[in-house]
Each structure stands twice: as C-alpha cells, then as structure tokens.
Amino acid sequence: MLKLKKILSAFIMAIISLSIMSPLLLSTPVAMATDEDELSFEMWTLDWDTISVDAGDVIEQMLRDIGIRMKAIPISDEVLYDNLDLEHDYEVYEMSGGYDPYPSHMTPRFHSSEIMDYGANDMAYNNPEVDALLDQANAELDFETRVELLWQVQDLIAEDLPYIPLFTSDDVHAIRKEWTGYVCMPGGIFNWYNRLTTINLQHEDQEYGADFIMAYPSYIRYYNPIMGTDGRSALIVSMVYDDLVAYDADMNLTPWLASAWTVSEDGLTITFTIVENAKWHDDVDLTAEDVKFTIDFYKDQDVPYDTPLMSRIDSVETDGDYTVIVHMTEPYAWAVNDFEDVPIMPKHIWEGKDWDWAVHPDTMPIGSGPFMWDSYLDGEWIKLVVNPDFWMEGKPHLGSFLVRVISESSARYLAISSGEVHSDRYELDTGFIDTADNDPNLAPLEDTWCVGMWDYYINFNQRTNPALQDPVVKKAIAHAIDKNRLVEIARLSYGTVTDTYITPAFFGPAYENPDAITYEYNVFLANQMLDAAGYLDIDADGIREMPVAVEEPDEETPVFEAETIEELEAEIASLLSSLSDTASSVSSLESDIEALNSRLNSSLNIAYGVAIVALLVAIIAVYYATRS
Amino acid sequence: MGFKEYVGKRTLHGIVTIMLAVTLNFILFRIMPGDPTRAVSGDPRVDTATRLALIAKFGLDRPLIEQFVLYVYNLLRGEMGISFVQIGRPVIDIILGRKMINTIILMGSSMFIALFLGIVFGVIAAWRRGTKTDISLIVVSLATYSMPVFWFGMMLLLVFSYYINIFPIAGTITPGIVHANFFEYAKDYLNHLMAPMITLGVSFFGGYFLFMRDTILDVFTEDYMLTARAKGLSNRKILFKHAMRNALLPMVSLMGVHVTFLISGATMTETVFSWDGLGRLIYDSVRNNDYPVLQGIFLFMAVLVVVANILADIVNAYLDPRIKEAVE
C-alpha cells in the first residue's frame, strides 16, 4: 500500500513538472517572431519611480499617433541596472539620470571612452567628433569659448539623438510655514551643494537658536566624509565639513573656505586663499596645511572619488598659513568646480588613516562646518548643534539640526503636517502634492519650487535594434512627444521641460543657446518624416514596418521598352498590380502568423490549465493517501 | 533506540540542514539580479572609476567558487563580512544589537497579548458554541485576521498620532533628548511601543483565537470529558482543568514555530511605525541590495528555526509519554 502511494505521488509530480515546464520551454520564441521588422520597441521604466512609470505610459500613447509601438514596461532597478552595466541589450529606457551642479554629465554620458562594463555611456553612443569636442571643452579655460564648444557638442548630439531629453522633475518641498531663510537653488531647498539654506534657515519668531527637525526616509550610510556621496549622508557631510568653494542660488561659484582663488593663464596653477578664522570643531586652527593634507591624502591613497580632478593634480604646496597652490598636470576647465565636492579634512585626525576609515560616530566626526556632531542613535536619529566658532560672521541661525528617521512616506507627511518634524530631506512625492498644496500648516509650494536635479529622458540603445540607429526614427519620436503634457501628468506640472542636453533652467542662463537644435511637438511632421524615410504601415495594423531593403538600382533597373506614354502607363500598371499582389501575399502571411500565434497562445493556456488541474488532483490524491 | 541516540540524530540532521542553508544563502544572492556596487555608492551618478574600485575592494570580480570558499571560511571564523550600505560596520554588530532587542520586545509583547487574549476568548467561544458571543467573536477574529496589517497600522497612526495626538508618530524613543533616569527612558520607550504593539497584537489575535477554539472543541468530544462530567465536576473545573490544559499542548507546539517571528520581526509594521528592528533592517537591506546584511539575517533565522525545531521535538519527546514511547 505504501509503495503504491509513493509510485502514485511520483507519477503525479512528474505530470505536474512536465506540464509546468512545457509552456515555459515553448514561450520564448513566440514573443520575438512578430516584432522584428516593425517599429515596435520595449521601453523600460523604473517600477518604483511613479514619475518614470507615468511618463512612460503617456509616451506609449503619444507614439501610437505616429505608428510606433513603444511598449512601456515597468521593471525593477536590479534588472535594469544589471542590463545597463553588464548585459547592454535593452532597447529603450526612460528614467532620470541626475545632474551635478555643473554640466559634468556630458563627458560620461556621451564620450566613447565610457562604452564599457559599468560605464556611464549606456547607449554606446560613439561619435569621434563629439569625443574631440568634449575633450577640447574640458581643457578650455575661457568660459565663453567652453560654452560655445558645448553648444557644438549638443548640436551634434541633437542630430544623432542617442537620447531625447524630456523634463526635470522639480523639487517642491513640504516645510512648515514658520520657517524662513531657506534658499531656493536648482536641485531644491535642501541639497548637499546648497550650503546657503542650512546657514540661513531660521524660525520666524526666533532669529537665532531655533531647533530644526528634518525627516529622513532612512538612516545615513556613511560617517566618512569622502564616501558620503549619497543624498542623505551628503547633506550631513556638507553641514559638518567645509569645501573650498560653494554655489550661490544661480549656480555660480562663490567663495567658501577659500575666500578667493586665481587660475593662472595656462591653467596649470590654481592659488586658493583660505579664510583666516576657521577652526576645527575640536578648537584646532584650520590652515593651508589641512587643505594640502586633504589633496595629498586623495592622491597618495588613490581614493576612487573625484578622480577627474585628482588625476590631473600634479602637486600641492602651501605659502604661509593661508595660501594653497595647486599645480596641475594639464589645464582642466572644471577644476575649481570639482573642489566643491572635496571635503577638507583635519590633518591631526586623519593622518595615518585609510581613506575608507569607518569614522565611528562615538569619536564624533570632526569638521570645520557650521554644525557640529552632537549625539545620535544608530538607525533612528542624529543631532547636530551649531558651531559657535563658525568662521562666517553671524551664521548659522539655527541652534540645532535634528535628523529623524521616519520610514513611511505618509507617516513623514503626517509628521510634518502635525508639527512633529519640520521638513523632509527629499521633495514631495507626486501623490502628496495636491494635499500639501491645501495644507495651511505648510509654506506655499510656490516658495519652495526649484528646478529639479533629476532629468528624465528616453535613452535608445545603439547596439540592438537597427531602427534605433536611424536618426529619422528618433527625430520623429522627439517631434511626437508633448513634453508639457508629460510634465502635467507625471509631475502635476511641477516640472521643467528640457529641450537641450545642458538645461539652462538648471545650469544657468549662460548655457542658453538661442540657435540650439530642438524638436517641437508636431505629430504631422513626425508622420511625414517617417513616411519619407520609407517606414510605412504595410499591413495596416497601426504600426509601421521597417523599409524593405531597396535593391541597388543600377543592377536591377526595370528595363522599359516602351516607346510611348500609353505603353509606359501599361508597364506601370502591371508593376503596380504585381506590387499589390506582393502586398496582399505579405498581409496573408501576416495573418497566418497571427493565427499561428493565437493557436499557440491557446495551447499555452490549455497547458497551464492542465497544470493547475494536475496540481489540484495531486493535492486531493495526497490528502486521501494520507488520510488512511 | 534510546533517547540519547534520538537527540544525537536530530542534532546531526540539524547540522546538515544548516550547511544546506549556508549554501543556498550564498547562491541566492549571487543569482539574484542587481548590482551591489550601486548599493555601495548609493548614488546612480557615481563615477565609473569609483564604481570599478569598489567592485574590486569587495572582491566581487573574483570567480564565484573563490567567493564561496572565502564566505564559508569567514563564517567558520565567525565573520559575516561588513555591510555594503553602512561601510565598515560588521554585519554581526548590526544584527545582534539594539535592532534585535527592539524586535524581540515588540514581537514578544504583542505575541504575548495576542496569545493571552486568544486563549481566554477561545475557551469562552468554545464553551458557548453557537451563541451570539461565539459568532460575534468569530466575526471579529476573522476580520482582524484578514485585515492587512500595514493598513491597520496606518489607520492607527492617522487617528492616534495625527488627529488625537497621544502616540508618537515614529521611532522607539524621543530623538535628541537625554533621559533623566531609566524609568523616564522606559516610559518613553513604552509610549512609542504602544501603537505597533496594538497593531501586531490585533493581527495575531485572530489566528490564536480560532486555533484555541477549535482545539477545545476537539477536546470536548474526548471520553475523559464525559467522565469528568459524570463525576459531577463543576463547569469551571471541567473547562479550565480538563479541557484547557489538554488543549494547550498543540498551542505550545504552535508557539515553538512562532518563536522565529521574534527575530524575523514584522517588516510591514516596523516600517509603518519606523520601529528600528530587524524587520525594517530586512526591508532597508532589500531596497538597498545590502547582501551581506541579508545573508547574515537569513542565516541567523535559518539557524534559529532549525534549533527551535530540534528543541521543540526533544522537549515534546520528553514531555509527551506517547511520543517518548514511540521513540524508544
């Protein structure tokens, strides 16, 4: 009896596994067959990012108007990034890249040296002219000339369109209305390069000494200032540590720890003058030695951060206590900008340490910034208090800055609305914008509305589908997308449409090129371009087909023996009829494929049904077998 | 087969199971999609050079088999590696710290309350089977049992932390203040504990209640109940001395299985209330691809399940004469 049971259950298991496996084995080739010669693409969006998903769905709809099927598929970031880093065989994706305070994204995104595993040039865009111009721009010290070079780069890219810029999702913040003094800067009122907000923030009834509480979605990652580049750690790092330079509200460089700097004419020597009254939080004076130490530290230990800058620095020397002279190996246009990202570290603490030293919070990260490390509870909160000896007169205004972890986004919003915390590290999720707009406890959203640092774009892989290598298709797509409508739907109008690759709204009006190549919303034009390029909808299913490969005319020119117009017309008529024959046979083939497909689908369904029934039978059988 | 041999055999089985768990635990994270260097940098805009350096630093460019040998070797030395996300912090420190205590307190208290109420009301409902009390209790327990726990938690948060401000909105302790003494601290902690504890207690209650009611009803059909009644014992004595004690045996086995909840925590509830426990650590680590921490927690949980099961078997074999006889 027992043996019988075992045999029975083994048999059932075999049936189940077979019936489950068979559809899986069959299903792969089916999906590939029909899409091959149509303008039909898979566009990946980021599943947790509602803006990316919503914009993707809208784009899919818009492109139907020009006969392109752009299937928007939300996908998890693990799968997406794995593909960008290693597999490189996606077709299209639509999500945000992210700006730095100066246009440092151009070289990684477009330079062919970044076509590699883990490289930033995802789409494998390779244009030697662009490479040369980018190299030239990175070495060009004169700002005006550099911007003109970047205009040329953008025009070249706009002709090839490896990606189409769409919009930036703007930063609207929920902050309680009693707080003033925050500075709106592209990237938001709270950001690691927005050093002005944290020193100017104050309570409306209390100019100095008020306690500010900010909600974080999760705890910071690093206490180490070099590695703290993620959004949460970087804000804390920017408050505890100082950099040599900073940005003002219009994204121009302003003095910070360096009260002045000069760049020599050949670009090989940069001289920084350090403020004289700066002190470390443990009361040691901050001098040029510390700055020299920091730069040497990066270079000696091959710190893998800020490499574009550090690899171009030859040596550093000090002249007195408050002058630092940096010698470059080659002229580098963005050298001073890059120093904005280098936290100056105390020599008397970091000497002899490794760059990835896990600064233990109990020993209190010592910096020179406006706030000092006070206390913390790992995973829950961090308290910074004001640095009374901060070198800038009368700053900061706050008394303390408390960071509190609240994991859940609705809980964060409720906490701000009820006053338990005062603002959030990040901008409002799109879902909360309407509620926040009507909340009497919050500052009006217009006051906190800054251009966002997250730039959304559609990226076309230049390796996979041949249609995506044809600029005409991409230009037609660019014409067919109504970016204003995208912003309205995906970000409830709190976004900025981007037409160029260096958005003047973010990087400043100096980058505005009045003659830039842009693509306005024009569905009619898009359709015409595709028609002219031979992308026609032959089988009338609403999706254009790839142009049929045109045979070389000099080899197969139809020989017209006709002498008169009438004979010529007859010839043409016969040619036309043979063409229509071909078309009809193509469409009958298509319908055959369709029929085969549906048969296959139904057999798949049957297989799954059998599997489920087999499973049920097995469960019942096991139940009866064990009951005895 | 003696009792000692039985114990030895179960232990051996346990060790084999744990070794399997170690292997699976390693493979699981290697075949999962996702790039840990994004976890390490935490920022999609990080430089290519930086990312390549971090990959090499963590040995992620080495062959899989080499990584596995290293992993097992380090485990034997008691090393679980360092977190990708909180660089420099050993995984063991992260798991066996305050987070574990927070989770044990939250899960322990809510399971205790749910168990207590489940047993009491289970007995009452079984005794008054078919009456209005029984039916209304069943309806309530089914409702709480099938209610999504995060939804209930958010409703509690909305009502008791926002509209009537009696519970704090997040965390395990009021941030940024120094407590005068231990009692102040405990008071503050309890205040923070209330809302998540109620949420979890309510969500556990239904299961225990239904289980208890059913076992008591089973016990009622036993012959010894008839005997007890025939002896003329009072209802109270029959119910609490004869029925409940026998019905508690399966309940204790169930508790043995549920002990692992003490550690795994309640991811949803801990996230809604920002309770800094292991459940939220799992949530954060999954979101940030923090493989070393996840590996550590899963291994820890696997070991705990195996050990708890062995212990439960041994204790059962020791306590229950019927099982003991079968073993010997």
The pLDDT tens digits of the residues spanning A64-84 come to 989 899 999 999 887 888 888
AA letter at A545: E
Pick the residue of B37, B47, B52 with the most A CBs within 10 A to test the interface with A by mutation: B47
Pick the residue of B48, B99, B191, B272 with the most A CBs within 10 A to test the interface with A by mutation: B48
The CATH class of A175-241+369-426 is: alpha beta
pLDDT tens column, A547-576: 876 555 555 555 556 667 788 888 888 888
Given a contact cutoff of 8 angstroms between Cβ atoms, the answer to whether A116 and A129 are in contact is no
Predicted pLDDT at B326: 67
Closest CA of chain B from A608, distance in Å: 26
The CATH class of A243-357 is: alpha beta
Whether A246 has a pLDDT exceeding 90, the answer reads yes
Whether B247 has a pLDDT exceeding 90, the answer reads no
A358 to chain B: which residues are within 8 Å by CB?
Answer: 87-89
Predicted pLDDT at A359: 67
Q: Give the least confident one: A132-141, A253-262, A448-457, A547-556.
A: A547-556
Question: CB count, 10 Å around CB of A399?
Answer: 15
Separation CA A392–CA A67 (nearest Å) = 60
pLDDT tens column, B205-236: 988 899 889 888 888 888 888 888 888 888 88
Backbone φ and ψ for B64, nearest 5 degrees, come out as -60, -40
| Closest chain A CA to residue B42 | A230
**Which residues in chain A (201-240) have CB-CB distances under 8 A to chain B?**
213, 218-219, 221-222, 224, 227, 229-231, 233
A105 to chain B: which residues are within 8 Å by CB?
Answer: 45
Confidence band of A176 (pLDDT split at 50, 70, 90): very high
B172 to chain A: which residues are within 8 Å by CB?
Answer: 380
* Strands, E assignment, A92-230: 92-96, 163-171, 179-180, 202-203, 210-216
The one-character DSSP state at A546 is P
Q: What share of chain B is helix, strand, coil (3-state, %, to 5)?
A: 75, 0, 25
Among B48, B54, B284, beta carbon nearest to A108: B48
Helix axes of B244-258 and B291-319: crossing angle, nearest 10 degrees: 150
> For the purposes of burial, counting CB atoms within 10 Å of the CB of B232, is it exposed (0-12), middle (13-18) or buried (19 or more)?
exposed
Predicted pLDDT at B287: 78
Given a contact cutoff of 8 angstroms between Cβ atoms, the answer to whether A474 and A468 are in contact is yes
Whether A543 has a pLDDT exceeding 90, the answer reads no
A412 or A616, which is more confident: A412
Among B50, B86, B280, beta carbon nearest to A304: B50
Torsion of CA B243, B246, B252, B257, to 10 degrees: -100
Spans of all domains in chain A? 2-29+569-627, 36-170+451-532, 175-241+369-426, 243-357
Separation CA A618–CA A12 (nearest Å) = 6
User: Average pLDDT of A325-349?
Assistant: 91
This complex has an ipTM of 0.82
Q: Which of A136, A215, A199 is nearest to A419 (CA)?
A: A215
Backbone φ and ψ for A260, nearest 5 degrees, come out as -160, 160
In whole numbers, what is the pLDDT of chain B averaged over residues? 82
B32 to chain A: which residues are within 8 Å by CB?
Answer: 78
Q: Which residue has the tokens 């935490």?
A: B42
Separation CA B132–CA B127 (nearest Å) = 12
B191 to chain A: which residues are within 8 Å by CB?
Answer: none
Rounded to two decimals, the pTM is 0.79
In terms of residues, how long is chain B?
Answer: 328
Contacts of A283 (CB under 8 A, 6+ apart): A389
| Closest chain A CA to residue B172 | A380
Backbone φ and ψ for A477, nearest 5 degrees, come out as -60, -45
Whether B44 has a pLDDT exceeding 70, the answer reads no
Predicted pLDDT at A551: 52
pLDDT tens column, A380-399: 899 999 999 898 888 889 99
Task: Give me the percent of chain A exceeding a pLDDT of 90.
Answer: 40
Given a contact cutoff of 8 angstroms between Cβ atoms, the answer to whether A404 and A214 are in contact is yes
B7 or A71, which is more confident: A71
Predicted pLDDT at A559: 58
B113 or A14, which is more confident: B113
CATH of domain A36-170+451-532: 3.10.105
Structure-token pair, residue A402: 């408390």
Question: CB count, 10 Å around CB of A72?
Answer: 23
pLDDT tens column, A578-597: 888 888 888 888 878 888 88
AA letter at A430: T
Instruction: Return contacts of B303-307, CB within 8 angstroms, 24+ apart.
Output: B303/B18, B303/B21, B304/B259, B304/B260, B304/B263, B305/B260, B306/B14, B306/B17, B306/B18, B306/B21, B307/B14
Shared fold status for A175-241+369-426 and A243-357: no
SS3 B111: helix
Question: Do B161 and A414 make contact, defined as CB atoms within 8 angstroms?
Answer: yes
Predicted pLDDT at B41: 60
Separation CA B100–CA B189 (nearest Å) = 15
User: Average pLDDT of B10-19?
Assistant: 84
User: Average pLDDT of A486-496?
Assistant: 91
Q: Which residue has the tokens 């739907």?
A: A489
Among B43, B162, B178, beta carbon nearest to A230: B43
The one-character DSSP state at A444 is P
Pairing of strands A381-386, A202-203: unpaired
Separation CA B316–CA A214 (nearest Å) = 52
> For the purposes of burial, counting CB atoms within 10 Å of the CB of B297, is it exposed (0-12), middle (13-18) or buried (19 or more)?
buried
Backbone φ and ψ for A76, nearest 5 degrees, come out as -75, 155
Confidence band of B35 (pLDDT split at 50, 70, 90): low
Separation CA A189–CA A424 (nearest Å) = 10
Given a contact cutoff of 8 angstroms between Cβ atoms, the answer to whether A76 and A104 are in contact is no
Backbone φ and ψ for A165, nearest 5 degrees, come out as -70, 140
Question: Do A108 and B44 make contact, defined as CB atoms within 8 angstroms?
Answer: no
Given a contact cutoff of 8 angstroms between Cβ atoms, the answer to whether B189 and A446 are in contact is no
The one-character DSSP state at A363 is G
Confidence band of A30 (pLDDT split at 50, 70, 90): very low
Whether A504 has a pLDDT exceeding 70, the answer reads yes
| A396 prior amide bond cis, ω within 30 | yes
Task: Give me the percent of chain A exceeding a pLDDT of 70.
Answer: 90
SS3 A383: strand
End-to-end alpha carbon distance in chain B: 5
Pick the residue of B31, B162, B272, B293 with the most A CBs within 10 A to test the interface with A by mutation: B162
Reported as type and span, the H/E element at residue A69 is strand A69-75
Predicted pLDDT at B42: 58
User: Average pLDDT of A131-157?
Assistant: 91
| Residue B212 CA: distances (Å) to CA of A27, B117, B255 | 48, 10, 12
| Closest chain B CA to residue A215 | B170
Question: Do A304 and B157 make contact, defined as CB atoms within 8 angstroms?
Answer: no
Question: Do A420 and B169 make contact, defined as CB atoms within 8 angstroms?
Answer: yes
pLDDT tens column, A183-198: 999 988 998 899 999 9
